[in-house]
């Protein structure tokens, strides 16, 4: 009798990619992936703790498994950041959980499931994160595929749970990364996304692997049509990385550079290791060396002690850089971080007002920047269809493009932009035939 696996994932692209590894590994163990919770014999929640809301959503979903367990036998495993931080207390708090696993040693999952099915009790397998798992992947897409280059982070940002949840920086050997990219290219993949909690720190723990600029050049030499990477820490972004992007036509002219605040005082409190002027120096270098580069960022509003003046500095930063998009969140304390020891003294209503002001200003900037694209022809990688049936994809600077016309998923198509909104560009194919390469 076939057994079925159901996975829910919260958080970043690193978690999504880890879930691809969980699915691939357990598929080899005889479990078949299903998108129906009601059919599942094994349920895995791959969790995130970067924001309080993500953690609360997991707690809410455990209740759904309690209801399933009343109807039939089903195993629940909780993995990722939450078990790595909270440990066995999750087992005590939630009797519905059958096993815990952390952010490493995925290879142990099949044996954990076998032990539970053998009625050997509930299990917590939470080793310290060491090395990087090499597992088979059941990929969500072969148009664009994720490739891990580092895991963990050795920075000490005061608000961030990642070093505790994911361990210190661990770089993957360059030859394994390049071999994986070559395999994806052979399989027909059109784009790779190089993943790391801090991609630019690649090789800092293992100098013999080289640095991130060198790795980017090696991946570009595979001739994979399009390369992206995330995420970048401004303290670790180098001019050599910017030069490498500029020198290779298959590396996207998009940099996600997480600033977090425009206030030097708050950046120091966050232990980010740079000033706003130093951040702007990196941005200016990228804008000078990479034509039409799209800079995107992350911001936190309402960090402890953030004054109205500090917030105004962040608004000024947005207006000066004119980011293509911003991921912004209100501050929430995370257990075990330095900032969790501080008074969370910005009122929730003020946090909400600041969040809305950032979103409103950014929508206006994004709309203005997207309007500049009207009349231009951009190369779009077609990724899928919208809920309304139109095709959509990404331009080489990572803007969303909606296409009114008949195209094929996985192809690069020159699209003439006719209209725009704050969220997307809209156009139609500039020629009848598709383009087989990226730029």
Sequential pLDDT tens for the chain (439 residues): 789 999 999 999 999 999 999 999 999 999 999 999 999 999 999 999 998 888 999 999 999 999 999 999 999 999 999 999 999 999 999 999 999 999 889 999 999 999 998 877 899 999 998 889 899 999 999 999 999 999 999 999 999 999 999 999 999 999 999 999 999 999 999 999 999 999 999 999 999 999 999 999 999 999 999 999 999 999 999 999 999 999 999 999 999 999 999 999 999 999 999 999 999 999 999 999 998 999 999 999 999 999 999 999 999 999 999 999 999 999 999 999 999 999 999 999 999 999 999 999 999 999 999 999 999 999 999 999 999 999 999 999 999 999 988 999 999 999 999 999 999 999 999 974 444 344 4
Structure tokens at 320: 């000066």
Contacts of 297 (CB under 8 A, 6+ apart): 256, 257, 258, 259, 321, 323, 326, 327
Chain centroid offset of residue 114 CA: 31
In whole angstroms, give the CA distance from residue 362 to residue 353: 14
Q: Collapse the DSSP code of 357 into the 3-class scheme (helix H, G, I; strand E, B; otherwise coil) and give the result.
A: helix
**Around Cβ 429, how many Cβ atoms within 10 Å?**
21
Listed in order, the ranges of the chain carrying CATH 3.40.50.12160 are 3-125
Contacts of 438 (CB under 8 A, 6+ apart): 191, 225, 226, 249, 250, 379, 381, 396, 412
Buried b (16+ CB within 10 A) or exposed e, 239-277: eebbebbbebebbbbbbbbbbbbbbbebbebbebebebe
Listed in order, the ranges of the chain carrying CATH 2.40.50.140 are 377-429
As a whole number of Å, the CA-based R_g of the chain is 22
CATH number of the domain located at residue range(s) 144-371 in this protein: 3.80.30.20
Contacts of 173 (CB under 8 A, 6+ apart): 206, 209
CA angle 64, 105, 7 (to 5 degrees): 25
Listed in order, the ranges of the chain carrying CATH 3.80.30.20 are 144-371
Give domain 377-429's CATH architecture: Beta Barrel (2.40)
In whole angstroms, give the CA distance from residue 45 to residue 276: 38
Q: Which CATH superfamily is domain 3-125 in?
A: Methylthiotransferase, N-terminal domain (3.40.50.12160)
> What is the model's pTM?
0.94
């Amino acid at each position: 009798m076939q057994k079925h696996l159901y996975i829910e994932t919260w958080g970043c692209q690193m978690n999504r990619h880890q879930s691809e590894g969980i699915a691939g590994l357990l598929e080899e163990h005889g479990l078949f992936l299903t998108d129906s919770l009601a059919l599942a014999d094994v349920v895995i929640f791959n969790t995130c703790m970067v924001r309080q809301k993500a953690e609360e959503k997991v707690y809410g979903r455990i209740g759904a498994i309690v209801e399933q367990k009343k109807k039939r036998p089903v195993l629940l495993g909780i993995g990722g950041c939450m078990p790595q931080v909270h440990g066995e207390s999750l087992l005590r708090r939630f009797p519905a959980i059958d096993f815990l696993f952390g952010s490493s040693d995925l290879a142990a999952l099949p044996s954990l499931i076998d032990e539970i099915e053998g009625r050997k009790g509930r299990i917590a397998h939470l080793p310290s994160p060491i090395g990087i798992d090499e597992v088979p992947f059941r990929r969500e897409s072969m148009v664009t595929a994720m490739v891990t280059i580092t895991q963990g982070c050795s920075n000490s940002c005061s608000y961030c749970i990642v070093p505790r949840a994911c361990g210190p920086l661990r770089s993957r050997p360059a030859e394994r990364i390049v071999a994986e990219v070559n395999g994806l290219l052979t399989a027909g993949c059109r784009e790779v996304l190089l993943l790391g909690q801090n991609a630019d720190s690649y090789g800092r723990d293992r100098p013999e692997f080289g640095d991130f600029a060198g790795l980017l050049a090696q991946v570009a030499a595979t001739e994979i049509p399009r390369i992206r990477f995330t995420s970048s820490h401004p303290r670790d972004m180098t001019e050599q990385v910017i030069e490498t992007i500029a020198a290779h036509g298959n590396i996207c002219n998009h940099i996600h550079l997480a600033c977090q605040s425009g206030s030097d005082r708050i950046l120091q409190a966050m232990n980010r290791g740079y000033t706003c002027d130093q951040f702007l120096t990196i941005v200016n270098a990228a804008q000078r060396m990479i034509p039409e580069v799209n800079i995107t960022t992350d911001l936190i509003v309402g960090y402890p002690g953030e004054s109205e003046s500090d917030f105004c500095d962040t608004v000024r930063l947005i207006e000066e850089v004119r980011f293509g998009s911003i991921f912004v969140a209100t501050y929430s304390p995370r257990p075990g971080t330095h900032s969790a020891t501080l008074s969370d003294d910005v009122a929730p209503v003020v946090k909400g007002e600041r969040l809305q002001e950032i979103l409103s200003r950014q929508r206006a900037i994004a709309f203005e920047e997207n309007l500049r694209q009207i009349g231009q022809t951009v190369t779009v990688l077609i990724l899928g269809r919208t809920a309304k049936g139109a095709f959509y994809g990404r331009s080489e600077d990572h803007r969303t493009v909606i296409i009114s016309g008949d195209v094929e998923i996985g192809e690069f198509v020159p699209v003439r932009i006719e209209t725009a909104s704050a969220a997307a560009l809209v156009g139609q194919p500039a020629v009848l035939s598709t383009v087989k390469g990226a730029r």
